[in-house]
Structure 1
Amino acid sequence: MALPFDLRALRVFLCVADSGGFSAAARELHVAQSAVSQTVAKLERQLELSLFHRHERRIGLTPEGEALYAHARELMERAEAAYLAMRELHGLVKGEVRIGIPSMLGSYYFPPLLMGFKAQHPGIRLTVVEAGARRLQRMIADGELDLGVVIDDTQSEHMERRLLIREEMVVCVPRFHPFAARPSVSAEEFFQEPLVLFQNGYFHREFVDTLSRRTGFAANVAFQSNLIPLTKAIVRQGFGITTFLRRVVDEPELAAVSFDTPAWLDLSLAWGRDAYLSRAESAFVAYVIAHREVL
């Protein structure tokens, strides 16, 4: 339904009511008195109502005018709030960025980037969603999530991607394990050990499953856990070995050993190919790409 008036007419109406006259309103609005009178008269014709009692010295609101006054005041306040919100977004004063990050990356790679962006844009709210890489890809494809960190492969072709880092997947063993003193470990040797693996849907588990299919060796899964501290504790105690991104193996009790054919993963920041990115999200993408050397 088309509205019979615009915000400008309501602003003039409010000014006349607050100032108590057409002349005073004209001075406040810096326009001719005739323009104020014509605007109010047109508004009354459109509404088919009298909004003011017109006396010689001072005017007053009619009951209909009083009813409109309350609505007009609320509308103007909301319009001003909307305008301010848009200006704040234009200046990146406010906004929200929702990004999905696999737990391994969220814990060991992204904190410097998140804190650096927050320092530059303190008014923008950052929401981090932790999930497996495949689930994050589905959430982006379904529009549930705007940004996410994914593993580059054919399943992410429907996304726009910006490469963040190329990182090695290594075998993680306790320091007392025979593998710890070696320069590399074969896939066959890895699969002969009891393994501590993430559950399905995480790139950690997908890497192992892909390696298993490629080499023909079955995984001996002793534990399944998506908790990195728990996985490390199990490995430290010698109940199994696992594979991590190299940076995650950061404790003196653990050793990182390459596969005999080094395994590399390309990690990218991604969003839907046809998705709209807000100014806040676009600023986040630009910041991450510009500062990815901290990864």
Structure 2
Amino acid sequence: MGRINFDLQELQAFVAVADRSSFSQAAEDLFLSQPALSRRIDKLEETLGVKLFERTTRRVQLTNVGRVFLANVRTALDELEGAILGVSDLAAHRTGIVTLACVPTAVRYFLPDVLRGFSERFPKIRVRIHDESAQDVLNLVLAGEADFGINFAGSEDPEIDFLPIYREDYVLAMRPEHPLAKRKKLSWKETAKERHISVSRSSGNRSLIDNALAGIEKHPAVFYEVNHVSGILALVEAGMGVAAVPRLSLPQHPGAPVIGVPLVNPPVYRTLGLIRKRGRVTPPAAQTLFSMLQQALITGKGSPS
């Protein structure tokens, strides 16, 4: 390819379409007509000499080359924004942006206090948070689209540095009036006759439980499967059965419609960790937030009571 000849608007158009997976929605976001947006994408593809999107009447999706290019463009745009805001300010942690990927549990219980302190110290630094599933968080960190992550997955990935910070036990979720609700703890064998609700077999939560129960003679029977823990809790609240869930997924307020009893024999738990792509240099502002989270979570200041 010869001299690079495209402008910032074309890159912004590309990111908008990639984020929305839709030309019409991206055009609305950018206050453009759809033909004008299409011309920008066409020009960018022509300049690069590659197709960035596969387009059908039903959907728009990135090509393999487009996915790689997207990660690079996001990085370039963030770096450009930092340069515009001022190199000296960015180096001094006075302006900039940090991109963090984390599971929803972290957003609810671990992030608020630390982000509040971070914002008080560095009020002009913006934080972009991707609250996604464990696998999506891992993928964002591996792709370089997030500076670091808070996740339950990644400890066995050779490309990931995993710093464990919190251990979360699994409990049996049920309605407060359930006959087992007054128990202090329950063995898995004691739950075998209950109607269990579970996430699908593709879920990391399901794999963790199945592996832990591999040596149990009689497994609990799963009567209902859903894709997310929030769906499990909705069915438990409706009285459809019980479910093994991470403790922090339960509502924490008094009088909650779902309660949890610790599970033993065997106990099942998952470990939350700060994750970074191995060998990747963390930008200064992101490193500061990473260190603050590490300190707060290890000392318990950022953990749920």
Q: Given the two structures, how large is their TM-score scaled by the length of structure 1?
A: 0.63
The answer to whether structure 1 residue 286 and structure 2 residue 266 are counterparts is no
Alignment partner, residue 241 of structure 2: 240
How do 1:129-278 residues align onto structure 2 when only pairs under 5 Å count?
129-151=130-152, 154-190=155-191, 192-199=193-200, 202-215=203-216, 217=219, 219-226=221-228, 228=230, 230-249=231-250, 250-251=252-253, 252=255, 253-261=257-265, 262-278=267-283
Q: 1:195 to 1:105 in 2, by over 3 A?
A: farther
Cα deviation digits, residues 206-230 of structure 1 (max 9, x gap): 33333344536265141414263x5
Moved more, 209-218 or 143-152: 209-218
Q: Matches of 1:136 and 1:287 in 2, distance apart? A: 20
Could you say what secondary structure the match of 1:178 adopts?
coil
Contact 1:98 1:146 in 2 (8 A): yes
Give the C-alpha shift of residue 83 in structure 1.
7.9
Could you say what secondary structure the match of 1:105 adopts?
helix
Give the C-alpha shift of residue 108 in structure 1.
3.0
Contact 1:137 1:156 in 2 (8 A): no
Contact 2:150 2:273 in 1 (8 A): yes
Q: Matches of 1:139 and 1:215 in 2, distance apart? A: 36
Contact 1:212 1:218 in 2 (8 A): no
Q: Matches of 2:93 and 2:233 in 1, distance apart? A: 40
Q: Matches of 1:169 and 1:133 in 2, distance apart? A: 17
Could you say what secondary structure the match of 2:116 adopts?
helix
Give the C-alpha shift of residue 84 in structure 1.
5.8
Q: 1:151 to 1:274 in 2, by over 3 A?
A: same
Contact 1:140 1:147 in 2 (8 A): yes
Give the C-alpha shift of residue 92 in structure 1.
0.9
Moved more, 219-228 or 92-101: 219-228
Q: Matches of 2:200 and 2:98 in 1, distance apart? A: 27
Contact 2:199 2:226 in 1 (8 A): yes
Q: Matches of 2:107 and 2:135 in 1, distance apart? A: 15
Task: From the two aligned structures, give the one with the greater helix fraction.
Answer: 1
Contact 1:102 1:131 in 2 (8 A): yes
1:286 maps to a residue whose letter is S
Q: 1:120 to 1:192 in 2, by over 3 A?
A: farther
Q: Matches of 2:101 and 2:226 in 1, distance apart? A: 22
Q: Which runs of 4+ in 1 moved over 6 A?
A: none
Cα deviation digits, residues 112-164 of structure 1 (max 9, x gap): 22333223222111111122212322332233332112226752343222222
Q: Matches of 1:85 and 1:197 in 2, distance apart? A: 50
Q: Matches of 2:106 and 2:135 in 1, distance apart? A: 14
Q: 1:280 to 1:164 in 2, by over 3 A?
A: same
Contact 1:193 1:220 in 2 (8 A): no
Q: Matches of 1:201 and 1:272 in 2, distance apart? A: 24
Q: Matches of 2:122 and 2:201 in 1, distance apart? A: 36
Q: Matches of 1:199 and 1:147 in 2, distance apart? A: 27
Q: 1:109 to 1:238 in 2, by over 3 A?
A: farther
Q: Matches of 1:89 and 1:115 in 2, distance apart? A: 20
Could you say what secondary structure the match of 2:86 adopts?
helix
1:119 maps to a residue whose letter is E
* Gap runs ≥5 in structure 2: 1-79
How do 1:3-42 residues align onto structure 2 when only pairs under 5 Å count?
none
1:226 maps to a residue whose letter is H
Q: Please provide the CA RMSD for this pair.
A: 2.9
Q: Given the two structures, how large is their TM-score scaled by the length of structure 2?
A: 0.61
